Each structure stands twice: as structure tokens, then as C-alpha cells.
Structure 1
Amino acid sequence: MFRSIRATLRLSAAAAALAVAGPAFAQTPPPAAPVEDTWFADGRAVLAQRLAVRPIEGRARNVILFIGDGMGVSTITAARLLGAEQAGEAGSSRPLAMDGLPHAALVRTYTHDAMVADSAATATAMVAGAKTHNGVLNVAAAAPARDCAAALAAPLDTLFARAERAGLSTGVVTTARVTHATPAAAWAHSPDRNWESDRQLPPAAVAAGCRDIARQMIEWPYGDGLDVVLGGGRVYFMPEGQPDPETPSRSGLRQDGRDLIAEWRAANPAGAFVIDQAGFDAVDPTRTSRLLGLFEPDHMRFAHARENEPSLAEMTRKAIAVLQTRGEGYVLMVEGARIDHAHHVGQAGAALQDTLAFDAAVRAALEAVDLRDTLVIVTADHSHNLTLTGYSPRGVPVLGLVTGADGAPMRLADGKPATVLSYANGPGGAMGPRADLSDADVDDPGFIHPALAPLPSAAHGGEDVAVLAAGPWAHLFGGVIEQHVINHVMAHAMGMYHE
């Protein structure tokens, strides 16, 4: 009876609708099927892929945390476009390797004391699971920044320390100095990220018992210490006056007379210490249980200018190979640090090249691991103030000028063209009228892109960043999350949440 009443109501409603619509509407049959085109077919194919995704809920033996420093969403988008251009697919939507990770969320990056974050506080959030002050490494927010005594009383436990206590292997790979904020978060506790060598330690901090970040790495007390460390920053481990082995014009910074590299080598006779591409290539992961590579006196080179040092993808591949030989599982951090550095100096082209190098490292890791037991996470510590704007047709170079539909550069109200990419502030800000870029080599990686406001170093962006993930418990990343939640997901995935 109820079914017949519902059917009658549906028929009555349909008849009323036809009467209101009039004869023309009533005589127009609906299309038999949606119009087919390549975009529609693509959407249907992606839906089928998404429907096939199943959560993995087994324990993660391994976790790899990729951090693109300063890699905001606009940077990812622009790098995707540049990658397509370089592959001869200008204007296409050719995906990055990180785009293929099935689970994603937006991440809120503000810190305990600031709307816009720095790399020390954000690394602390991801590694130690709590927000803290800008400029502080693995010290609870209850302790003021740059207060040594308070910091010593408020250390935060880290995922790396917990992993070592559990008998797992640990590694850090970066294109920055290894003592820089993001990589240093793997081992250091410091109320000031700038205390990289004892030269930077204030006398009061020394008197209170604080140690510099390089020394903390060598003296890290957990398990058997870090198994792999690859990046730059040799002079922070060398005594004052000792010439750098590759760049004799640079010399060690340490004032305590200690040669921390020599100390590491003495403590790890079966390990390998390397400083260049040849030494790196000669490392056999099956015969090397511990690896320290310091490839530059300071930061490593930008990806587009790299020479005589391994790429981020090569370092990632080697680190995984070494860590896998230990057999018990591992935690690895991989940082694409120079994305941030290029943005700071307004060189969008260099930032995008380093983003593509970072993505190549993600691809290398995905090819080397089994996602059934390895959680891979790709995110950024914070964004930058890069913007991609204008209404250029698809196919216009992302490092080029905004054009109209006719392909000619679009002139703004002052009669001058604009670049597709620009910054809210930075070195490219003009003190007077805008420069005419009609004949500028805007696609050169060293070109300084225009900025709205002049600033010696472009500021970070405070908007949410993306986190992308695959592997055990990656499905816990969804919606909008706080940055420190990333740490708790990793700990849960590895079965050490209540360790």
C-alpha cells in the first residue's frame, strides 16, 4: 500500500512538472548518456582508481618522511608545469611522483608563538609531536626561546630517539648543512637553531651546559646513533684553522679544537665517510653499516648547478639501501632544503628545479620500498609567498611572461609585461617603478622574479601546506590537520605510540 502511494505521488509530481514546463520541455528527451570527451573519460578512470584504494593497517616496519622545505602548493603546481615542459608536454597535466600518493590532507603550520612558521618549529612538530616557538628545536613551548637552562629542563622526545631505543635504524638526508634546522631536528635539542657549532654558542649557554648542534650529532646517546647522515656543512665539524679538503679557502669553525669528523670515523671503523661523488659512488651498501657524507663546506649546491656531489635522489636511494641491511626497520628523513633557499633569494626557477629534484627522490624511494610495510609521507614544513597568476593559455612557459590568447605578452596598466610567477615580497621588489621585463631572460634559474614589496630575503608563507602519503596507516591523513599530528600518525603506524 505504501509503495503504491509513493508511486502515485511520484507520477503526480512528474505530471505537474511537465504541465508547468510546457509542451517544448515535455517533447525534449533527455540525452541517452553524458557527452563523452577525454576529460570526462579521465574523470571516470580516476574514480575507478580511487574506488580501488584500500587502507593498509599492518605495522609499518619503515617510515620515510620527505620534507620539501618551503614547498607550498603554488610551488608544487609550478614545478608540475615545469616538469611537463621539460618532458616536451607543455601545457599538459603530467603528474609528479608525489601526485600519485593516494592519501592527502591540508596541514596547519602555525607555531606556538607565530602565525607564520620557521623550519625549526615545524620540524619539531613533525619529529617530536608538539608545537614550539619559532627558532627552537625539540624543546617544549613552556621554555622560552634562547634560554639554555629552561631548554635543558624541557626536552621533547623524538621519533628518531624512540626508533633507536627500539633497535631500529635511523637516517637523515638533506641538501642543506646537516646541522641546519630541519635535519638537526632528528637529533638536536636546542633553544636556538643557530647554535650549529660552538662558535655560535653564547658564553651564558656554554656555562649553563648547552651543546652545539654538530656536537650533539656526534654524541647522540640513543641506540647506536644515527646510521646514515648525508648533506653539507663540513666546516661545522672541523676545528678552527683546518682547511676544507675541497675548498681550502674555507676552514673549520670549531673553537673547541675538536675534529668531530675524525671522532666519528674513530667510533665507526666499519663505516664510510665521503665528501664527493666518487667517494659516494664507491660505497657498497651491503658492506657499509654506517655512512656519513658531507659534500660541501656549507649547503649543497642548487640542483641546476650540481657538480661533483650526488643528487637528492641518489642520496635517498643509497640511504635506503644502507638502512635496509640492518634488517629491523628504519626511520628516514629526506629534506629538499634548497627549495626554500631559492625562494628566499627570489629565484623561482631554481626553486622549481630543486622541487623536481625532490620529486625525483620521492620517485626513487617509491621504486625501492614495499608500500605494504613502508609508510611514505611527503609534505612541506611551511610555504613561501610565491604566486602563479594571470590568464595565460595552457602551454605558456611557467617561467615566462603572462600572455594573452594571441600569444603576445599581456601589458598591465603601466604598459609593462608581468611574469607568470611572482612573490608578495623579496629581493625582486622594486623601490620605484617596475622594470620592463620584455627582453629579460626570465626562464634562467638565477633570474630574480618580481615581488610586490622589497625585502632582502623573501618571507615564508603562512597558508596550509599539503601532506601526501602511501603505505600503512596513510589513510589517517585526511581533511585539515595540525602539523604535529603527522608525528602521531608515524608513531602509531610503527607500533610505538605508547612506547
Structure 2
Amino acid sequence: MLNLKICRTFLFLLCVVYSNGRNLLANKDDNLLSSRSLFDEKNKDHWKIQAQWTLRTKLDAPLNTKVAKNVILFLGDGMSIPTLAATRVYLGRKYGQTGEELKLSFETFPFTGLAKTYCVDHNVADSACSGTAYFSGVKANSGTLGLSGAVKRGDCEGQKDSDNAVTGLMDWAQRAGKSTGIVTTTRVTHASPAAAYAHSADRKWEADADLPRQGLRCEDIASQLVRGRVGSHIDVVFGGGRKNFYSRKDKDANGNFGYRKDGRNLIREWLAKKESQGVYPKYIENRRDLLKLDKKQYGSVLGLFASDHLPYNLEADIDDPSLSEMTQKAIEILSQNQNGYFLFVEGGRIDTAHHETKAQKALDETAELAKAVEAALRMVDPDNTLIVVTSDHSHTMSYSGYSKRGSDILGLANVKYNASDNLPYSTLSYANGPGYKPHSDFKRHNLMLDDMNNLNYTFPSMVPIARETHGGDDVAVFAKGPWAHLFTGNYEQNFIPHAIAYASCIGPGLTKCKL
């Protein structure tokens, strides 16, 4: 019998596929249902049925060419392909499976592609230039947001020149009369969400206090969310970064001081701005207020749930909303618009965990993104909602060794294959980062001495550096819904918003409605 509790988790377990495939093929050949278990991987029929079922589902999958009324763009910040593979095993062990055979919720989507992530001026992307690409359809320089490649990082005058500004999906959706929203586990002024609404020559200019010198009169990112043409019309904003919205002389409800030098309270300004637009707004700060929020009562909601980034899922408490909870509430609110909506959802702490080489946290945050995708799938109509799941860039984490199936992904590789110095190595490791451990007596550090199950364990790195860097490899793109087949193949990252705009009939370019 199948373990239904496991099958009902956000994991898409192959047991579901196999059970459907077995019923389908059993009608054709009862001999397949012999006494040998078809769930036994040593049985050749197990693999034949698996492959045949995959083939049949692909052959039977129709191409949806309807207009996408709604669009949800999910981003796993720093979610490399090795991160996906390792997360399957991490979850498998958590639910009593080996793990390698599992699929995350979005890995079941019918169409998959690869996006090239480099910036105009760098071969390895950061979250700012990549965010500009997948939001606006224009590649940019590293560290810049919502600006063309004509602007170098730190060029305030270039930022103020409107000819250099680029807009994208958030703006196009608003012009089409759709509701718009942002959900993130990072600061809402962080690079990825900021790329949706801001024009900044430096991603670090999140508050006025971040500007490098007096007299540099460029508008900071938090201010652009409240005052900007695109930012001020976003209907739902959920995430962290409360400190960037009020003065360093003031404290929030948790006793944390603000960060702004100009004395402004942008939360009050946001409320006033929304009221001037004829919208009844609501500001919230904790999970309790989020869950009890009446979707029909407020036209726009700003939720800043932490002074900085939201805590990692493994360290969150009862007052911290999960990515799934924020996603569900955002969909509830945005779905009230008869014209549809565009929603951006970011699992942003995958990236921060990788930078710290804390692989366990990175895998768990990836699992949280998969849960949020599944939560969205339960709420939307797949016939008129396009869901795209991707990443902005890779990381340097590798998944290596020859361990047995079901081995602890967070542990050591098979000791039978120790290195030539007869010391073990971990299955997961990084090319660079803070996990570097100095050699002693010309020998590598012995990982047997480490507590690798510690939540904050920094996994081994080859090169010592304070923060692990991004990787330059392509990232996966998963798509489901109207025109999802446009996302197959290998393409530049800036193609993504053009395909989304085509499917949803928004933006100035070619669309389904302009043929």
C-alpha cells in the first residue's frame, strides 16, 4: 500500500506516477502485474513502466494557447541545479524515502528550459542585473537595477537620466489593469524584488543612509517603492526590510531602530499615498495579522515582517509567516481583480545560505519554495494561470562522490572513495567561501571531527573568502499553464519577460492579442 501521508506532502512522489502507470498498463498486459513488485528498482519492469508513463504524459499533454489572465513568477534566488538535486535527497530522508527519485512540486511542470544568466559587464551575474533581465527583458550591468547597460554601477547621474530607465512586467501588468504583488523572504528593497519597481545605479542604495556621500541626490530604493510610478501602484508587498522605511531615531514594535537619515516615515507615506489613490490600505507586521487579514476589506496591503531579512525557516518562530502563507494571502487579495494579476514570489534566503556555505539551510529554503509553489497550484485555475519557476543565478556548491542511495546528503561521501590523503570529504562542498579550513601538517582538515548536522555548519570550501560567490552556469526554468511551451530550450535570461508578456497580453512587444 502507498503511504498516503507522504503522497500528500508537497513532494511529487513517483509512487503516484507509478500507481497511475500500473493501472494504465495493466489493462494491456496483465502479466506485468506479476508477484514481483513493480516498485522494486531491481525489477526491469519498474524502469520500463516509469519511462513509458513519462512518455505517455508528454504525448498526451496539450499545448495551452489561451491568454494567461494571471501570472505568477517564482524565483529561487541562487537556486542552482545541484541545489535542486540535493534538495530532493534532503527531503527524501526527511520523509523516509531515499530521495533521488523524488520531484519537487515545480519539477513536475510539463515544460523546462535553461536560461543564460551573465550580465552585460560580468560573466557571473548578481541578483540586480539578473533581476533587470527577467523583469524588463533588457540585460544590465552588475549591481544596477532597472537601468540599461549604459549605466555603470554607482553612476547617480546615469540613474537620473530617464533615457536609461527600463520597465517591465510589473509596469506592463499595471498598465493592463491587472493587480500586482511582491512576496519575498528578504528585504523588500533587496535586489530581486527591487528590480520589479526601482531604477538604481547601485543595488545597495536601499535607504538614503546607504548613499555614499552628501549631495548625491539619487532616490533610494525604499523611497521608490512608496513614491515611484510603478512601486506606488503595487497592491501587495510582503517581506522584510522594515528598517529602511523609518528614521533611525524611531523604533518598531520589536524595539529595532530604523535606518533612515532623512527622518521620513515611509510607512505613513505609503498609507497616505494609497488613500490618495482611492484605495483603502492596511499595514501589518506579524504572522497573526497576516492570517486574519480579510481580503475583501483592503485594496492594498504592505506587510513588513522583519527589520531585516525574514529569518530562515529552520529558525523562524510563531510570529514569522512562511513563504507559503504569504503567497496564499497575496493570491487571495490579488484574485479579486477581474482583469487578473501578476505576482512575483521569491525564496530569497536560498541565496544567503549559500553565501554562508550553510548547505542545510539552503536546501531547506529550496523546499520552502517548493511548498509555496504547491500552495499556489491548489489555488489557481491552471487553464488561465501561467506559473514560471526559475532562478536568477547559480552558486558554487557541488554535489559529488559515489555515496550509496539514500545516504545523508549533508554528510560524508562514501568512505570507500576517500581522497588520496586517506581523509574523507563531504558530498556537498563549495568552490569558495567561509567554509575553508586551514591545513595542518600539510594535511586537509579531518571532517570526521566536525558536527556536520549543526544547522549553522559551514560546509567545506576550496578557496577562503568571506562570502561564497555566485556561479556562472545556466539556471533551470519550469513552466505550466498558457504558453508554457515557450519556455523550452536554451535562451538568454532576458527572454523570460518577453515570453510572459506574450502569453498574458501585456507590454509593448509582440503578444498573443496582437497577432
Q: Give the equivalent residue in structure 2 for 1:488.
A: 498
Range with bigger deviation, 382-391 or 217-226: 217-226
* Mapped partners of 2:235, 2:478: distance in 1: 26
Q: Give the equivalent residue in structure 2 for 1:19.
A: none
What TM-score do you get using the length of structure 1 for normalisation? Answer: 0.89
Pair 1:259-2:269 in alignment: no
For the Cα contact (< 8 Å) 1:417–1:437, is it kept in 2? yes
* Mapped partners of 1:143, 1:346: distance in 2: 32
Which of 431, 438, 453 lines up with 1:431 in the alignment? 438
* Mapped partners of 2:44, 2:424: distance in 1: 39
* Mapped partners of 1:205, 1:372: distance in 2: 52
**Aligned with 2:181: secondary structure?**
strand
Pair 1:395-2:406 in alignment: yes
The Cα shift of 1:222 comes to 4.1
Q: Give the equivalent residue in structure 2 for 1:478.
A: 488
Range with bigger deviation, 444-453 or 230-239: 444-453
The Cα shift of 1:121 comes to 0.3
Q: Give the equivalent residue in structure 1 for 2:349.
A: 338
**Aligned with 2:79: secondary structure?**
coil
Which of 300, 312, 317 lines up with 1:302 in the alignment? 312
Q: Give the equivalent residue in structure 2 for 1:116.
A: 124
Compute the RMSD of aligned alpha carbons. 1.8
Give CA-to-partner distance per residue, 1:143-172, whole Å, 9 cap, x none.
Answer: 222112222221002211121122111100
Q: Give the equivalent residue in structure 2 for 1:443.
A: 453
* Mapped partners of 2:508, 2:193: distance in 1: 25
Which of 231, 251, 254 lines up with 2:239 in the alignment? 231
Q: Give the equivalent residue in structure 2 for 1:165.
A: 175
Q: What residue identity is the alignment partner of 1:70?
A: G
**Aligned with 1:37: secondary structure?**
helix
Pair 1:378-2:414 in alignment: no
Q: Give the equivalent residue in structure 1 for 2:98.
A: 90
The Cα shift of 1:206 comes to 3.4
| Percent of paired sites with the same residue | 41
Q: What residue identity is the alignment partner of 1:167?
A: G
| Counterparts of residues 64-83 of structure 1 (less than 5 Å) | 64-83=72-91
| Counterparts of residues 104-253 of structure 1 (less than 5 Å) | 104-153=112-161, 154-203=164-213, 206-207=216-217, 210-222=218-230, 225-246=233-254, 248=255, 250-253=256-259
For the Cα contact (< 8 Å) 1:167–1:223, is it kept in 2? no
* Mapped partners of 1:427, 1:224: distance in 2: 39
The Cα shift of 1:410 comes to 4.5
Give CA-to-partner distance per residue, 1:301-342, whole Å, 9 cap, x none.
Answer: 011111111100111111011100122111111011100000
Q: What residue identity is the alignment partner of 1:165?
A: R
Q: Give the equivalent residue in structure 1 for 2:421.
A: 414
Pair 1:355-2:366 in alignment: yes
* Mapped partners of 1:294, 1:338: distance in 2: 16
Q: What residue identity is the alignment partner of 2:291?
A: D
Q: Give the equivalent residue in structure 1 for 2:28.
A: none
For the Cα contact (< 8 Å) 1:272–1:283, is it kept in 2? no
**Aligned with 1:489: secondary structure?**
helix
Change (3 A) 1:92 1:118: closer
Give CA-to-partner distance per residue, 1:406-457, whole Å, 9 cap, x none.
Answer: xxx6532222211110001111112324221224221333111001111110
The Cα shift of 1:288 comes to 2.4
The Cα shift of 1:244 comes to 2.4
Q: What residue identity is the alignment partner of 2:283?
A: F
For the Cα contact (< 8 Å) 1:104–1:468, is it kept in 2? yes
* Mapped partners of 1:416, 1:223: distance in 2: 54
Q: What stretches of structure 1 of length at least 5 have no aligned partner? A: 1-32
**Aligned with 1:353: secondary structure?**
helix
* Mapped partners of 2:421, 2:128: distance in 1: 41
The Cα shift of 1:179 comes to 0.3
The Cα shift of 1:268 comes to 3.7
Give CA-to-partner distance per residue, 1:100-151, whole Å, 9 cap, x none.
Answer: 1110111100010000000000000010101000000010112222112222
**Aligned with 1:206: secondary structure?**
coil
**Aligned with 2:222: secondary structure?**
helix
For the Cα contact (< 8 Å) 2:86–2:409, is it kept in 1? yes
* Mapped partners of 1:50, 1:115: distance in 2: 35
* Mapped partners of 1:163, 1:400: distance in 2: 46
The Cα shift of 1:224 comes to 6.5
The Cα shift of 1:283 comes to 0.6
Range with bigger deviation, 139-148 or 298-307: 139-148
Aligned length: 459
Q: Give the equivalent residue in structure 1 for 2:378.
A: 367
* Mapped partners of 2:158, 2:379: distance in 1: 43
Q: Give the equivalent residue in structure 2 for 1:41.
A: 49
Range with bigger deviation, 350-359 or 84-93: 84-93
**Aligned with 2:166: secondary structure?**
coil
Q: What residue identity is the alignment partner of 1:356?
A: A
What TM-score do you get using the length of structure 2 for normalisation? Answer: 0.86
Change (3 A) 1:199 1:224: closer
